[in-house]
Structure 1
Amino acid sequence: MNYPYMYPPFNLKDFESMSLGEAQQYFDWYTAEIPSRMRFLKQMIAGKFELDFSSKSLIPLFTWYLTTINRYKLSDSELHEKLTWFRHQNELSYEVAEIQLLSNPIDIMLEDYALAMDIAIYYGEVLIHNYPQVGWTFFTKPKSFVHLNEPILDVIDDTGYLRKNPRSLLHQLIEQFKADQINNHVLYENFLLDRADILGVDDED
Protein backbone atom coordinates (compact mmCIF):
# COMPACT_ATOMS: atom_id res chain seq x y z
CA MET A 1 0.00 0.00 0.00
CA ASN A 2 1.25 3.47 -0.90
CA TYR A 3 -0.62 6.06 1.14
CA PRO A 4 0.65 9.64 1.69
CA TYR A 5 1.30 10.77 5.24
CA MET A 6 -0.02 14.15 6.37
CA TYR A 7 2.98 16.43 6.95
CA PRO A 8 2.70 20.21 7.50
CA PRO A 9 4.75 22.51 5.21
CA PHE A 10 6.41 24.10 8.25
CA ASN A 11 8.52 23.02 11.19
CA LEU A 12 6.40 20.98 13.57
CA LYS A 13 7.03 21.30 17.29
CA ASP A 14 5.71 19.09 20.04
CA PHE A 15 2.20 20.28 20.81
CA GLU A 16 3.11 20.94 24.45
CA SER A 17 5.78 23.47 23.46
CA MET A 18 3.78 25.36 20.83
CA SER A 19 2.98 29.04 21.27
CA LEU A 20 -0.55 30.30 20.63
CA GLY A 21 0.48 31.43 17.15
CA GLU A 22 2.06 28.08 16.33
CA ALA A 23 -0.99 26.17 17.58
CA GLN A 24 -3.22 28.40 15.45
CA GLN A 25 -0.99 27.86 12.42
CA TYR A 26 -1.15 24.09 12.84
CA PHE A 27 -4.91 24.15 13.41
CA ASP A 28 -5.55 26.29 10.33
CA TRP A 29 -3.38 24.01 8.20
CA TYR A 30 -4.93 20.82 9.62
CA THR A 31 -8.54 21.85 9.07
CA ALA A 32 -7.77 23.23 5.59
CA GLU A 33 -6.35 19.82 4.65
CA ILE A 34 -9.50 17.89 5.61
CA PRO A 35 -11.16 17.96 2.15
CA SER A 36 -8.04 16.67 0.40
CA ARG A 37 -7.47 13.99 3.04
CA MET A 38 -11.04 12.79 2.56
CA ARG A 39 -10.38 12.57 -1.19
CA PHE A 40 -7.28 10.44 -0.53
CA LEU A 41 -9.33 8.16 1.69
CA LYS A 42 -12.13 7.78 -0.86
CA GLN A 43 -9.59 7.01 -3.59
CA MET A 44 -8.10 4.31 -1.39
CA ILE A 45 -11.53 2.82 -0.72
CA ALA A 46 -12.05 2.68 -4.51
CA GLY A 47 -15.81 2.27 -4.31
CA LYS A 48 -15.73 -0.83 -2.08
CA PHE A 49 -18.36 0.89 0.08
CA GLU A 50 -19.76 4.38 0.46
CA LEU A 51 -18.26 7.00 2.73
CA ASP A 52 -21.45 8.98 3.22
CA PHE A 53 -20.63 10.33 6.71
CA SER A 54 -23.32 8.16 8.29
CA SER A 55 -22.52 6.53 11.61
CA LYS A 56 -22.99 3.05 10.13
CA SER A 57 -20.33 3.78 7.47
CA LEU A 58 -17.77 3.47 10.27
CA ILE A 59 -18.36 -0.29 10.37
CA PRO A 60 -17.32 -1.22 6.79
CA LEU A 61 -14.57 1.41 6.93
CA PHE A 62 -12.93 -0.04 10.02
CA THR A 63 -13.58 -3.61 8.89
CA TRP A 64 -11.75 -2.82 5.67
CA TYR A 65 -8.90 -1.11 7.54
CA LEU A 66 -8.34 -4.15 9.72
CA THR A 67 -8.02 -6.34 6.62
CA THR A 68 -5.62 -3.87 4.98
CA ILE A 69 -2.96 -3.45 7.66
CA ASN A 70 -0.45 -6.01 8.91
CA ARG A 71 1.52 -6.48 12.10
CA TYR A 72 5.25 -7.16 12.12
CA LYS A 73 7.74 -7.81 14.90
CA LEU A 74 10.25 -5.06 15.64
CA SER A 75 13.93 -5.91 15.45
CA ASP A 76 16.14 -5.01 18.41
CA SER A 77 17.47 -1.96 16.56
CA GLU A 78 13.96 -0.81 15.59
CA LEU A 79 12.80 -1.26 19.18
CA HIS A 80 15.74 0.79 20.46
CA GLU A 81 15.08 3.50 17.88
CA LYS A 82 11.42 3.80 18.86
CA LEU A 83 12.17 3.94 22.58
CA THR A 84 14.83 6.59 21.95
CA TRP A 85 12.30 8.68 20.03
CA PHE A 86 9.74 8.43 22.82
CA ARG A 87 12.41 9.28 25.41
CA HIS A 88 12.91 12.63 23.63
CA GLN A 89 9.16 13.41 23.70
CA ASN A 90 8.28 13.43 27.38
CA GLU A 91 8.66 11.14 30.35
CA LEU A 92 5.05 9.96 30.36
CA SER A 93 5.11 9.06 26.65
CA TYR A 94 8.32 7.14 27.18
CA GLU A 95 7.02 5.21 30.20
CA VAL A 96 3.83 4.19 28.37
CA ALA A 97 5.72 3.26 25.19
CA GLU A 98 8.30 1.27 27.14
CA ILE A 99 5.62 -0.86 28.79
CA GLN A 100 3.76 -1.43 25.51
CA LEU A 101 6.78 -2.09 23.30
CA LEU A 102 8.69 -4.33 25.69
CA SER A 103 5.63 -6.44 26.44
CA ASN A 104 4.54 -6.58 22.79
CA PRO A 105 7.27 -5.47 20.31
CA ILE A 106 4.86 -5.27 17.38
CA ASP A 107 4.24 -2.43 14.96
CA ILE A 108 2.50 -1.55 11.69
CA MET A 109 3.83 0.26 8.64
CA LEU A 110 4.00 4.07 8.37
CA GLU A 111 1.42 3.94 5.56
CA ASP A 112 -0.96 2.14 7.91
CA TYR A 113 -0.57 4.93 10.46
CA ALA A 114 -1.16 7.52 7.72
CA LEU A 115 -4.37 5.78 6.72
CA ALA A 116 -5.47 5.59 10.35
CA MET A 117 -5.00 9.34 10.78
CA ASP A 118 -7.31 10.00 7.84
CA ILE A 119 -9.83 7.57 9.28
CA ALA A 120 -9.56 9.66 12.46
CA ILE A 121 -10.47 12.76 10.45
CA TYR A 122 -13.37 10.91 8.84
CA TYR A 123 -14.58 9.85 12.28
CA GLY A 124 -14.56 13.48 13.35
CA GLU A 125 -16.39 14.56 10.22
CA VAL A 126 -19.04 11.88 10.83
CA LEU A 127 -19.70 13.39 14.25
CA ILE A 128 -19.88 16.90 12.75
CA HIS A 129 -22.19 15.87 9.91
CA ASN A 130 -24.58 14.15 12.31
CA TYR A 131 -24.37 16.74 15.08
CA PRO A 132 -23.79 20.32 13.83
CA GLN A 133 -23.09 21.49 17.38
CA VAL A 134 -19.76 19.65 17.13
CA GLY A 135 -16.75 21.30 15.53
CA TRP A 136 -12.96 21.28 15.37
CA THR A 137 -11.14 23.48 17.87
CA PHE A 138 -8.02 23.55 20.05
CA PHE A 139 -7.22 24.58 23.62
CA THR A 140 -4.12 26.40 24.81
CA LYS A 141 -4.91 26.06 28.52
CA PRO A 142 -4.78 24.67 31.06
CA LYS A 143 -1.23 23.55 30.39
CA SER A 144 -2.06 20.20 31.97
CA PHE A 145 -4.72 19.48 29.32
CA VAL A 146 -3.88 16.14 27.74
CA HIS A 147 -4.57 17.36 24.19
CA LEU A 148 -3.00 20.80 24.62
CA ASN A 149 -2.81 22.73 21.31
CA GLU A 150 -4.03 19.75 19.25
CA PRO A 151 -7.04 19.86 16.92
CA ILE A 152 -9.88 18.13 18.75
CA LEU A 153 -13.67 18.00 18.63
CA ASP A 154 -15.84 19.99 21.01
CA VAL A 155 -19.49 20.99 21.35
CA ILE A 156 -20.60 24.61 21.03
CA ASP A 157 -23.75 24.36 23.12
CA ASP A 158 -24.32 23.68 26.81
CA THR A 159 -26.11 20.37 26.36
CA GLY A 160 -23.26 17.88 26.29
CA TYR A 161 -19.51 17.52 26.66
CA LEU A 162 -17.04 16.04 24.19
CA ARG A 163 -13.41 17.24 23.80
CA LYS A 164 -12.52 14.26 21.63
CA ASN A 165 -9.20 13.67 19.92
CA PRO A 166 -9.91 11.22 17.08
CA ARG A 167 -6.20 10.71 16.41
CA SER A 168 -5.69 9.51 19.98
CA LEU A 169 -8.66 7.19 19.56
CA LEU A 170 -7.14 5.61 16.44
CA HIS A 171 -3.77 5.23 18.16
CA GLN A 172 -5.54 3.38 20.98
CA LEU A 173 -7.29 1.12 18.49
CA ILE A 174 -3.99 0.43 16.73
CA GLU A 175 -2.53 -0.70 20.05
CA GLN A 176 -5.50 -3.04 20.46
CA PHE A 177 -4.88 -4.34 16.94
CA LYS A 178 -1.22 -4.99 17.73
CA ALA A 179 -2.29 -7.01 20.76
CA ASP A 180 -4.90 -8.86 18.67
CA GLN A 181 -7.68 -7.50 20.90
CA ILE A 182 -9.82 -5.63 18.37
CA ASN A 183 -13.21 -6.00 16.72
CA ASN A 184 -14.53 -4.39 13.57
CA HIS A 185 -17.41 -2.59 15.33
CA VAL A 186 -15.26 -0.71 17.84
CA LEU A 187 -15.15 2.57 15.89
CA TYR A 188 -18.94 2.60 15.61
CA GLU A 189 -19.22 1.71 19.30
CA ASN A 190 -17.07 4.75 20.11
CA PHE A 191 -19.41 6.86 17.99
CA LEU A 192 -22.35 5.73 20.13
CA LEU A 193 -20.47 6.70 23.29
CA ASP A 194 -19.58 10.10 21.85
CA ARG A 195 -23.16 10.61 20.69
CA ALA A 196 -24.35 10.12 24.27
CA ASP A 197 -21.81 12.68 25.48
CA ILE A 198 -22.80 15.17 22.77
CA LEU A 199 -26.48 14.88 23.59
CA GLY A 200 -25.93 14.66 27.32
CA VAL A 201 -27.92 11.44 27.60
CA ASP A 202 -27.36 7.77 28.37
CA ASP A 203 -27.08 5.82 25.10
CA GLU A 204 -29.10 2.62 25.08
CA ASP A 205 -28.19 1.40 21.56
Structure 2
Amino acid sequence: MYQVINNLPIDYDFQSKTKEELKLYAKWFEENKESRLQELIKAVKTTKGYENWEADYSPESLKMLGKWFEENVETEKLSEEEYKEKRAAVPDEIEIQDWDITIKTRSLAVDIGIYFGEVFIKNHEGLKWEQYFSRSKYDMDIGHMVIKGFGKIRLNSIWVIYVLASSLAEKIKDGTRLYELYNVWERYLG
Protein backbone atom coordinates (compact mmCIF):
# COMPACT_ATOMS: atom_id res chain seq x y z
CA MET A 1 0.00 0.00 0.00
CA TYR A 2 1.43 3.37 -1.04
CA GLN A 3 2.27 5.65 1.90
CA VAL A 4 1.56 9.31 1.08
CA ILE A 5 3.99 11.94 2.35
CA ASN A 6 2.75 12.87 5.81
CA ASN A 7 5.83 14.21 7.61
CA LEU A 8 6.65 17.51 5.87
CA PRO A 9 7.93 20.11 8.33
CA ILE A 10 6.12 22.95 6.47
CA ASP A 11 3.27 23.28 3.97
CA TYR A 12 3.87 24.04 0.28
CA ASP A 13 3.20 27.78 0.53
CA PHE A 14 6.95 28.40 0.27
CA GLN A 15 6.63 32.11 -0.59
CA SER A 16 5.24 32.81 2.89
CA LYS A 17 8.04 30.97 4.73
CA THR A 18 11.18 32.31 6.38
CA LYS A 19 14.59 31.11 5.23
CA GLU A 20 14.88 29.07 8.45
CA GLU A 21 11.53 27.35 7.77
CA LEU A 22 12.58 26.63 4.20
CA LYS A 23 15.83 25.09 5.45
CA LEU A 24 13.70 22.61 7.43
CA TYR A 25 12.28 21.47 4.08
CA ALA A 26 15.80 20.97 2.65
CA LYS A 27 16.70 18.89 5.71
CA TRP A 28 13.48 16.85 5.27
CA PHE A 29 14.32 16.36 1.58
CA GLU A 30 17.83 15.06 2.32
CA GLU A 31 16.60 12.76 5.09
CA ASN A 32 13.60 11.39 3.16
CA LYS A 33 14.71 11.34 -0.48
CA GLU A 34 15.81 7.70 -0.45
CA SER A 35 12.73 6.41 1.42
CA ARG A 36 10.44 8.35 -0.96
CA LEU A 37 12.19 6.74 -3.95
CA GLN A 38 11.74 3.30 -2.36
CA GLU A 39 8.06 4.05 -1.68
CA LEU A 40 7.56 4.96 -5.36
CA ILE A 41 9.45 1.90 -6.64
CA LYS A 42 7.37 -0.38 -4.37
CA ALA A 43 4.11 1.27 -5.53
CA VAL A 44 4.97 0.78 -9.20
CA LYS A 45 6.35 -2.76 -8.92
CA THR A 46 3.33 -3.99 -6.90
CA THR A 47 0.95 -2.80 -9.65
CA LYS A 48 -0.26 -5.54 -12.00
CA GLY A 49 1.58 -5.21 -15.30
CA TYR A 50 4.47 -3.19 -13.83
CA GLU A 51 6.21 -5.89 -11.78
CA ASN A 52 9.13 -5.88 -14.24
CA TRP A 53 9.69 -2.12 -14.24
CA GLU A 54 13.43 -1.45 -14.03
CA ALA A 55 13.94 1.42 -11.59
CA ASP A 56 17.52 1.83 -12.84
CA TYR A 57 17.43 5.63 -13.25
CA SER A 58 17.83 5.35 -17.01
CA PRO A 59 15.95 7.77 -19.25
CA GLU A 60 14.17 4.70 -20.70
CA SER A 61 12.78 3.83 -17.26
CA LEU A 62 10.69 7.02 -17.52
CA LYS A 63 8.62 5.51 -20.36
CA MET A 64 6.97 2.85 -18.21
CA LEU A 65 6.87 5.16 -15.16
CA GLY A 66 5.02 7.79 -17.21
CA LYS A 67 2.44 5.25 -18.33
CA TRP A 68 2.02 4.09 -14.72
CA PHE A 69 1.62 7.68 -13.49
CA GLU A 70 -1.04 8.38 -16.13
CA GLU A 71 -3.01 5.35 -14.87
CA ASN A 72 -2.65 6.42 -11.22
CA VAL A 73 -3.50 10.14 -11.33
CA GLU A 74 -6.66 10.70 -9.30
CA THR A 75 -8.89 13.75 -8.95
CA GLU A 76 -11.59 14.81 -6.53
CA LYS A 77 -14.44 17.25 -6.96
CA LEU A 78 -14.03 20.54 -5.09
CA SER A 79 -16.63 21.48 -2.51
CA GLU A 80 -18.74 24.51 -3.40
CA GLU A 81 -16.68 26.58 -0.94
CA GLU A 82 -13.33 25.40 -2.36
CA TYR A 83 -14.52 26.16 -5.88
CA LYS A 84 -15.61 29.68 -4.86
CA GLU A 85 -12.20 30.28 -3.24
CA LYS A 86 -10.42 29.05 -6.36
CA ARG A 87 -12.70 31.13 -8.60
CA ALA A 88 -12.11 34.28 -6.51
CA ALA A 89 -8.33 33.89 -6.84
CA VAL A 90 -8.37 33.77 -10.66
CA PRO A 91 -9.57 36.38 -13.20
CA ASP A 92 -13.00 35.53 -14.66
CA GLU A 93 -11.70 35.15 -18.21
CA ILE A 94 -9.53 32.22 -17.11
CA GLU A 95 -11.35 28.89 -17.16
CA ILE A 96 -10.91 26.76 -14.03
CA GLN A 97 -11.84 23.18 -13.19
CA ASP A 98 -14.27 22.22 -10.44
CA TRP A 99 -11.85 19.49 -9.33
CA ASP A 100 -8.27 19.11 -8.15
CA ILE A 101 -5.75 16.28 -8.01
CA THR A 102 -5.86 14.25 -4.79
CA ILE A 103 -3.35 14.33 -1.93
CA LYS A 104 -2.14 10.89 -3.05
CA THR A 105 -1.51 12.22 -6.57
CA ARG A 106 0.36 15.23 -5.16
CA SER A 107 2.50 12.86 -3.09
CA LEU A 108 3.20 10.71 -6.17
CA ALA A 109 4.16 13.88 -8.08
CA VAL A 110 6.77 14.68 -5.40
CA ASP A 111 8.13 11.12 -5.48
CA ILE A 112 8.21 10.99 -9.29
CA GLY A 113 9.75 14.47 -9.31
CA ILE A 114 12.55 13.16 -7.10
CA TYR A 115 13.03 10.12 -9.37
CA PHE A 116 12.98 12.36 -12.48
CA GLY A 117 15.66 14.58 -10.91
CA GLU A 118 17.74 11.54 -9.94
CA VAL A 119 17.66 10.31 -13.56
CA PHE A 120 19.43 13.54 -14.56
CA ILE A 121 21.90 13.39 -11.66
CA LYS A 122 22.83 9.76 -12.33
CA ASN A 123 23.22 10.29 -16.10
CA HIS A 124 24.98 13.67 -16.21
CA GLU A 125 28.11 14.42 -14.22
CA GLY A 126 28.20 17.50 -12.04
CA LEU A 127 24.45 17.83 -11.38
CA LYS A 128 23.15 17.81 -7.81
CA TRP A 129 20.21 18.82 -5.67
CA GLU A 130 20.40 22.27 -4.16
CA GLN A 131 17.94 24.43 -2.29
CA TYR A 132 17.19 27.57 -4.27
CA PHE A 133 16.98 31.02 -2.73
CA SER A 134 16.19 34.23 -4.55
CA ARG A 135 16.12 37.92 -3.70
CA SER A 136 12.52 37.96 -4.93
CA LYS A 137 9.99 36.37 -2.59
CA TYR A 138 7.76 35.93 -5.66
CA ASP A 139 10.22 33.58 -7.39
CA MET A 140 8.24 30.36 -7.84
CA ASP A 141 11.32 28.22 -7.11
CA ILE A 142 12.15 29.87 -3.79
CA GLY A 143 12.94 27.27 -1.14
CA HIS A 144 12.52 24.37 -3.55
CA MET A 145 15.08 21.67 -4.14
CA VAL A 146 16.26 22.24 -7.70
CA ILE A 147 19.01 20.97 -9.97
CA LYS A 148 21.39 23.55 -11.39
CA GLY A 149 23.49 23.01 -14.50
CA PHE A 150 20.86 23.77 -17.16
CA GLY A 151 22.47 26.96 -18.44
CA LYS A 152 20.74 30.04 -17.03
CA ILE A 153 17.74 28.03 -15.84
CA ARG A 154 17.33 25.43 -13.11
CA LEU A 155 15.25 22.26 -13.06
CA ASN A 156 12.56 22.21 -10.39
CA SER A 157 11.69 18.60 -11.19
CA ILE A 158 9.01 18.28 -8.51
CA TRP A 159 7.15 21.30 -9.91
CA VAL A 160 7.57 19.97 -13.48
CA ILE A 161 5.94 16.68 -12.44
CA TYR A 162 3.20 18.46 -10.48
CA VAL A 163 2.29 20.35 -13.68
CA LEU A 164 2.41 17.05 -15.59
CA ALA A 165 0.01 15.49 -13.04
CA SER A 166 -2.53 18.24 -13.77
CA SER A 167 -2.09 17.76 -17.53
CA LEU A 168 -2.60 14.01 -17.16
CA ALA A 169 -5.72 14.62 -15.04
CA GLU A 170 -7.12 16.95 -17.69
CA LYS A 171 -6.20 14.40 -20.40
CA ILE A 172 -4.20 17.13 -22.22
CA LYS A 173 -1.10 14.90 -22.10
CA ASP A 174 -0.51 11.18 -21.72
CA GLY A 175 2.15 9.11 -19.98
CA THR A 176 4.65 9.45 -22.85
CA ARG A 177 5.11 13.07 -21.78
CA LEU A 178 7.40 12.08 -18.86
CA TYR A 179 10.06 10.70 -21.23
CA GLU A 180 9.51 13.64 -23.61
CA LEU A 181 10.12 16.07 -20.71
CA TYR A 182 13.45 14.37 -20.05
CA ASN A 183 14.48 14.96 -23.66
CA VAL A 184 13.29 18.59 -23.52
CA TRP A 185 15.29 19.34 -20.37
CA GLU A 186 18.35 17.43 -21.55
CA ARG A 187 18.73 19.96 -24.38
CA TYR A 188 19.44 22.69 -21.80
CA LEU A 189 22.46 20.87 -20.39
CA GLY A 190 25.98 22.15 -21.05
1:62 matched to 2:58? The reply is no
Residue 3 of structure 2 corresponds to 3
Q: CA deviation at 1:3?
A: 3.2
Residue 122 of structure 1 corresponds to 115
Match of 1:112 among 88, 105, 108: 105
The answer to which of 167-176 and 122-131 deviates more is 167-176
Percent identical pairs in the alignment equals 23
Alpha-carbon RMSD across the aligned residues, in angstroms, is 2.6
Number of matched pairs: 184
Structure in which a larger fraction of residues adopt helix: 1
Spell out the pairing of 1:189-204 with structure 2 (5 A cutoff): 189-199=180-190
Q: CA deviation at 1:11?
A: 4.6
Do the aligned partners of 2:129 and 2:147 also contact (CA within 8 Å) in 1? yes
Spell out the pairing of 1:1-205 with structure 2 (5 A cutoff): 2-8=2-8, 10-12=9-11, 14-46=13-45, 47-80=51-84, 83=86, 94-95=89-90, 103-143=96-136, 144-155=138-149, 160-199=151-190
State TM-score, norm by structure 2: 0.82
- State the SS of the aligned residue for 1:35: helix
Question: Structure 2: which 5+ residue stretches go unaligned?
Answer: 46-50
State TM-score, norm by structure 1: 0.77
Relative to structure 1, is the Cα distance of residues 71 and 18 closer, same or farther in structure 2, using a 3 angstrom cutoff? closer
Question: Structure 1: which 5+ residue stretches go unaligned?
Answer: 88-93, 200-205
Partners of 2:60 and 2:4 lie apart in 1 by 26
- State the SS of the aligned residue for 1:134: coil
- Residue type of the alignment partner of 1:79: Y
